[in-house]
C-alpha cells in the first residue's frame, strides 16, 4: 500500500504504531475514559489534514466550539479556516415541554435530528477528514444496542461513499463493556490512564483492531504535554541493526584494562555491581570519559544523583563534566523516576543513540530504573529489549546496580547479571585497620579476562587500581585472611578521598 493511501495522524509515534497512519476512506474508533487524550488526538489528526490542504470537520455532541478552541489554544494550536467545528444541538421544539408529543419518544426525534444535522454539515463542506465526538451521546439517544448498531452502520456507509476518513470518539461513559462499534469500524485504538500508588499518572494505548493492515501490537506508553500527545512505540530490538566493528574499548586505566582482558567490546553491555559508595558511578563514567577522549560521544542517564552534586563530586577527582557537556561530547539527563514512564525513558535513550550519535550510554542506576515502574511485572523484559537495541546499534552500555549490605553476603534488588555481557563486582573489605575497596570481573562473554581481585582507591587523581591481591583470601566476603609472604596492599596517601 502506497503512502498516499494513508491519512497520517500527525501524533509523534502513533503513525509508527499504525505502520503509516489511518487507511483513507474508512471509519476508525478511538475509545477511552475521560481525560485519556481522545480529543487532543482528534484535533491533531485534523490539524495534520489542514496542513496538507484538506478540508476538515469536527462534529461535537458534548462540548461547545469555544471549549474546543480553548483546548486547542492550550497546546499552542489554532483551528484555522480549513477546520470547521459543528455543534449538534437539538431543535428548539424538542426542548420545549409544551410541544412534546406522546405518540413517539423524544429520543427517536432527537436521534434522527442529530443524524440529519451531521449529514447536512458534511454536505455543505465535503471534508476529507471528519471527527465525531462522542458516540456515547448517540448511544444514549438510540436506547438500545440494535438501534445503535444500525445507526453507526448507516453513518459508516454514508461516509464511505463520500471518500472521507472518519474518527469516532467514545468516552465509555454510557455503558460498560459495549463492543457494538468494534465489529463495524475499520480499526480501534484504545487509550488508557493508569494511576500508580505514587507519582504522576501513566498513559498507554493499544491498537486492538486494524483490518488489512499490519501494526505494532501490545501496549505503548504516551504522554500529554503542551503541544499535544507524544507516543513512545514499544521497542522491538530485532527491527534495528546497524553494521559496526566489534573492537575493544579501553577505559584509559592500564590496570583496569588488564583486568578486563583489554577493555570492553563495542556493542556490549556491562553491569557494575556493588554496595553503596564503592564507586560504581565513577567506574561507569570513567568509560564514558575514555570514549570522549577517543573523539566519541557519551550519554549519562542519572536516576539517583542531582546533577550539580555530580559535577562537584567529579570535579574534585579531576573529571570536568561541565566542560565535556559544554563541548557537546557528553549529555547528562537527570531522570525523575516518579514522573517518567518506561516507554518514554527508552525513547530518550533511543534518540540519544540514533539522533545524537552517542556511542557510550551509562544508566545510573538500575535501582532508580526499577523505582520508575514499581507496579511493572516486566521490568527485566524492558531492560533486555533496551540492551539488545543498544547492542545492535553498536553502542556500549554501562549499568550500575546498588546491592544491599556493606560486607559479607550481598543482596541485589533485581537479577540482571545474566542479561549483561560483562559483570564487574566491587566490594569493601577490611585490612590492617582500614576500609578498602576491591574490584573483580566475574563474567565476560566477549573474551578472556583476569580472574584476579585488585584493590582500588579513589583519590584526587581519579580512579587508581593496584596489583592483583595474591596474598589474601576471603576478600569478596569482606574480611580477608593474609596468607602471602609480602604485603600487596596499596599505600594510603594524603590526597586520598573518602567517599
What is residue 89's predicted lDDT score, i.e. its pLDDT? 73
What is residue 276's predicted lDDT score, i.e. its pLDDT? 87
What is residue 367's predicted lDDT score, i.e. its pLDDT? 81
* b/e sequence 47-81, b meaning 16+ C-beta within 10 Å: bbbbeeebbbbbbbbbbeeeebbeebeebebebee
Compute how many other C-beta atoms are within 10 angstroms of the C-beta atom of residue 427: 23
Cα angle 354, 355, 359; round to 5? 55
Rounded (10°) CA dihedral 220, 224, 228, 230? -30
Q: Is 252 exposed, middle or buried (0-12, 13-18, 19+ CB in 10 A)?
A: middle
Distance (Å, rounded) from C-alpha 132 to C-alpha 29? 10
What is residue 272's predicted lDDT score, i.e. its pLDDT? 95
Q: Is 41 exposed, middle or buried (0-12, 13-18, 19+ CB in 10 A)?
A: buried
- Supply φ then ψ for residue 176, to 5 degrees: -70, 145
Here the cell at position 418 is 545474566
Distance (Å, rounded) from C-alpha 228 to C-alpha 441? 47
What is residue 37's predicted lDDT score, i.e. its pLDDT? 95
Nearest to 468 by CA among 259, 254, 253: 259
Q: Is 247 exposed, middle or buried (0-12, 13-18, 19+ CB in 10 A)?
A: exposed
Distance (Å, rounded) from C-alpha 240 to C-alpha 268? 15
Query: What is the pTM assigned to this prediction?
Result: 0.85
* b/e sequence 361-380, b meaning 16+ C-beta within 10 Å: bbbbbbbbbbbbbeeeeebe
* Preceding amide of 385 cis, omega within 30: no
Distance (Å, rounded) from C-alpha 351 to C-alpha 345? 10
* Preceding amide of 80 cis, omega within 30: no
Q: Are 426 and 256 in contact (CB under 8 A)?
A: no
Nearest to 487 by CA among 469, 461, 473: 469
Q: Are 114 and 141 in contact (CB under 8 A)?
A: yes
- Could you list the mean pLDDT of each consecutive 10-residue stretch along the chain, which spans 499 residues? 74 95 95 94 97 95 90 93 87 46 47 88 94 88 85 90 93 70 94 83 94 93 94 87 86 95 95 91 96 96 89 92 95 86 91 95 86 67 90 95 68 73 90 84 92 91 89 67 64 58
Q: Are 324 and 386 in contact (CB under 8 A)?
A: no
Q: 559508595: which residue's cell?
A: 277
Q: Are 168 and 29 in contact (CB under 8 A)?
A: yes
Distance (Å, rounded) from C-alpha 163 to C-alpha 436? 75
Amino acid at each position: 500500500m502506497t503512502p498516499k493511501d494513508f491519512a497520517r495522524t500527525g501524533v509523534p509515534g502513533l503513525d509508527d504504531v499504525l505502520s503509516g497512519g489511518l487507511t483513507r476512506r474508512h471509519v476508525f474508533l478511538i475509545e477511552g475514559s475521560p481525560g485519556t487524550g481522545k480529543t487532543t488526538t482528534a484535533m491533531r489528526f485534523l490539524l495534520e489534514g489542514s496542513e496538507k490542504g484538506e478540508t476538515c470537520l469536527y462534529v461535537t455532541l458534548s462540548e461547545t466550539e469555544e471549549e474546543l478552541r480553548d483546548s486547542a489554544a492550550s497546546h499552542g494550536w489554532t483551528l484555522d479556516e480549513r477546520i470547521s467545528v459543528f455543534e449538534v444541538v437539538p431543535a428548539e421544539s424538542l426542548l420545549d415541554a409544551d410541544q412534546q408529543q406522546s405518540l413517539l419518544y423524544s429520543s427517536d426525534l432527537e436521534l434522527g435530528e442529530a443524524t440529519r444535522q451531521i449529514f447536512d454539515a458534511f454536505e455543505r463542506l465535503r471534508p476529507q477528514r471528519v471527527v465525531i465526538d462522542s458516540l456515547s451521546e448517540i448511544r444514549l439517544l438510540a436506547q438500545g444496542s440494535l438501534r445503535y448498531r444500525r445507526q453507526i452502520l448507516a453513518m459508516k456507509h454514508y461516509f464511505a461513499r463520500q471518500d472521507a476518513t472518519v474518527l469516532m470518539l467514545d468516552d465509555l461513559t454510557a455503558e460498560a463493556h459495549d463492543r457494538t462499534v468494534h465489529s463495524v469500524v475499520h480499526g480501534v485504538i484504545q487509550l488508557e490512564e493508569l494511576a500508580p500508588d505514587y507519582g504522576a499518572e501513566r498513559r498507554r494505548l493499544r491498537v486492538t483492531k486494524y483490518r488489512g493492515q499490519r501494526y505494532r501490537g501490545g501496549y505503548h506508553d504516551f504522554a500529554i504535554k503542551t503541544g499535544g500527545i507524544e507516543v513512545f512505540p514499544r521497542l522491538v530490538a530485532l527491527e534495528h541493526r546497524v553494521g559496526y566493528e566489534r573492537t575493544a574499548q579501553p577505559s584509559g586505566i592500564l590496570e583496569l584494562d588488564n583486568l578486563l582482558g583489554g577493555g570492553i567490546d563495542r556493542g556490549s553491555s556491562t553491569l557494575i555491581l556493588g554496595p553503596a559508595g564503592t564507586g560504581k558511578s565513577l567506574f561507569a563514567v570513567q568509560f564514558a570519559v575514555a570514549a570522549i577522549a577517543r573523539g566519541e560521544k557519551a550519554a549519562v542517564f542519572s536516576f539517583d544523583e542531582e546533577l550539580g552534586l555530580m559535577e562537584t563530586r567529579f570535579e574534585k577527582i579531576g573529571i570536568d563534566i561541565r566542560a565535556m557537556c559544554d563541548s557537546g561530547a557528553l549529555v547528562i539527563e537527570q531522570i525523575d523516576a516518579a514522573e517518567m514512564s518506561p516507554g518514554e525513558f527508552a525513547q530518550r535513550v533511543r534518540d540519544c543513540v540514533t539522533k545524537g550519535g552517542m556511542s557510550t550510554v551509562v544508566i545510573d542506576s538500575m535501582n532508580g530504573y526499577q523505582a520508575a515502574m514499581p507496579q511493572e511485572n516486566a521490568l527485566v523484559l524492558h531492560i533486555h529489549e533496551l540492551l539488545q537495541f543498544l547492542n545492535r546499534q553498536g553502542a556500549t552500555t554501562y549499568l550500575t546496580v546498588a546491592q544491599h549490605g556493606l560486607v559479607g553476603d550481598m543482596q541485589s534488588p533485581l537479577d540482571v547479571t545474566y542479561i549483561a555481557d560483562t559483570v564487574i563486582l566491587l566490594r569493601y573489605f577490611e585490612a590492617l585497620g582500614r576500609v578498602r575497596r576491591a574490584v573483580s570481573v566475574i563474567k565476560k562473554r566477549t573474551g578472556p579476562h583476569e580472574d584476579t581481585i585488585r584493590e582500588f582507591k579513589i583519590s584526587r587523581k581519579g580512579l587508581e587500581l593496584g596489583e592483583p591481591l595474591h596474598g589474601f583470601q576471603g576478600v569478596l566476603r569482606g574480611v580477608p585472611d593474609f596468607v602471602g609472604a609480602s604485603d600487596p596492599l596499596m599505600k594510603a596517601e594524603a590526597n586520598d578521598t573518602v567517599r
